[in-house]
Amino acid sequence: MELVPHYVDSEQAVGCVGPVVIRIIASAPTEITDIDDLVGLVDDTFQRWSAVGIWVVAHHGAPVPDSSVRRYVADRLQPYNDHLTMVCSMLGLGFWASAASGASTGIGVLLGVDLQMTTSVAVGAERMCRELVGLDPARLVAAHDDLMQRITA
């Protein structure tokens, strides 16, 4: 399964590897339009796969979504929660990591899914692959690295 990039700018990137939708946030605030685009991609992915994963990788300092955006995410993804795996990799330390992890955990609670939190790309990829059997964690790590290079290019 190859990476299919869907959106890249200087602050964020979104792409798919098979049934996994990857969103990398380098420094972009998460807006309602970002969620609508992500949910559209999840919907398209469900047309081809019976189970889908969303892997959000937030790099240190990326703005934490406010509560209205977090509620919106939960509302928009609710129809999929029985067949949705979510992993968040928070790549940072201190107060930022705590706030970002808390916000992500809150989304999982609102959705009613077991949102898995990690602090590294490799562990995030492994957790996703444990849930979506048949995927290669190394391929997901490579997809993350590819998307990050596109952000910084």
Domains of the chain plus CATH, in order, are 3-135+142-152 (3.30.750.24)
For the residues 105-121, what does the mean pLDDT come to? Answer: 78
The secondary structure of residue 61, as a DSSP letter, is: T
Q: Which are the contacts of 63, defined by CB distance < 8 A and separation ≥ 6?
A: 27, 28, 29, 30
pTM of the model: 0.91
pLDDT confidence band for 114 (50 / 70 / 90): confident
Residue 100, pLDDT > 90, answer: no
Distances (CA, A) of 113 to 84, 108, 144, 152: 8, 5, 23, 32
Residue 20, pLDDT > 70, answer: yes
Residue 46, pLDDT > 80, answer: yes
Distances (CA, A) of 68 to 39, 99, 103: 16, 15, 11
pLDDT confidence band for 99 (50 / 70 / 90): confident
For the residues 53-58, what does the mean pLDDT come to? Answer: 94
What is the rounded average pLDDT for all residues in the chain? 89
Rounded to 10°, the helix 67-77/32-46 angle is 20
Residue 6, pLDDT > 70, answer: yes
Residue 44, pLDDT > 90, answer: yes
Q: Residue 126: its pLDDT value, please? A: 97
For the residues 71-79, what does the mean pLDDT come to? Answer: 88
Q: Residue 153: its pLDDT value, please? A: 60
Residue 82, pLDDT > 70, answer: yes
For the residues 77-90, what does the mean pLDDT come to? Answer: 90
Residue 121, pLDDT > 80, answer: yes
What pairing do the DSSP bridges indicate for beta strands 12-17 and 52-59?
A: unpaired
